[in-house]
Amino acid sequence: MVINDAIQLTVTITLFVLSYVLFKINVSFCCFFILVAVFTTRNTPVNLASMAIERYIAVCQPLRYAQICTVRRTHVLIALIWFMCVAPDITDLFVTLASESLQFFHQSVFCLRQNVFKDPALAHKRLAFDVIYFSAVFLTLVFTYLRILFAARALSTKKALAQKARNTIVLHGVQLAMCMLSYISPSVEIALRFIFPGRIYEIRFANYLVVYILPRFLSPVIYGVRDRKFRKYLKMHLTSCRRRGRGRSAAPTVAPMDEDNF
């Protein structure tokens, strides 16, 4: 999840800066940036569903957890996630290669998905896959949350573990809802352009922050601040920094020498 978000943020920030500095870039480079951004963006909800299932197994089937969630199966699952996210959108490139001339890839365009992958059928295909992926993830989160909730009520000895797992899945749901903002962001951006004409760059920048940056802020919260060991060392670090700051402020100052002492 962290690696995927790091790649996604790096590529989207690079593309965003290039759009401001150069405005238009080569179509070939634009294809590369857009496809990587799309792959990593689509990876996020599928990763959320996989981690929710892992929490479900840990709470509801603890005796089989070590047997099911092995390192080898985790690697296979990661490869399957990437294949599921890459396969639907790589066809956009193949369709564009078949329908556009070679000269088109030497041109420079403002790097938007609709400016590169122009076939109208591709837009309908993307919408269908997006609905399928996000619906499957949403149902997975609801199913795992309800099963963990029922397990927590049935087993009093695992209430603390189940409570933590439920909170994690709720945060996954919030993160998924924020990721779904990408569906309505184009319509909202068009509406804001009519309301605030001449503010295209500001609107696009605000849209980028809300849709692509803000959902990624929840990952450090879910897997960093909520971790006991991480919180322990974070508190120790903050306490030591505060003590150093107080020590420096309380250090005695040397009084200036008076000329009469010479």
CA atoms within 13 A on the CB side of 67: 4
Q: 256 lies in a domain? A: no
- For the entire predicted model, the pTM comes to 0.72
For residue 227, the 8-state DSSP code is S
**Helix extents (H) in the chain:** 2-21, 27-60, 65-68, 71-99, 113-116, 120-154, 159-179, 181-195, 200-208, 218-220, 228-249
Give the burial class of 184: count Cβ atoms within 10 A of its Cβ; 0-12 exposed, 13-18 middle, 19 or more buried: exposed
Total domains in the fold of the chain: 1
Q: 89 lies in a domain? A: yes
Q: 248 lies in a domain? A: no
Asked whether the predicted pLDDT for residue 250 surpasses 60, the reply is no
* pLDDT for the residue 8: 85
**Residue 183 and residue 198: Cα distance in Å, rounded?**
24
Q: Per-residue confidence at 144, pLDDT binned at 50, 70, 90?
A: confident
Q: Per-residue confidence at 220, pLDDT binned at 50, 70, 90?
A: low
Give the tens place of pLDDT for each residue, 3-33. 888 888 888 888 888 877 888 888 888 898 8
Q: 249 lies in a domain? A: no
Q: 254 lies in a domain? A: no
Give the tens place of pLDDT for each residue, 62-117. 888 888 888 898 899 999 988 988 888 888 888 888 888 888 888 888 888 888 88
Q: 20 lies in a domain? A: yes
Asked whether the predicted pLDDT for residue 52 surpasses 50, the reply is yes
What CATH number is given to the structural domain containing 118?
1.20.1070.10
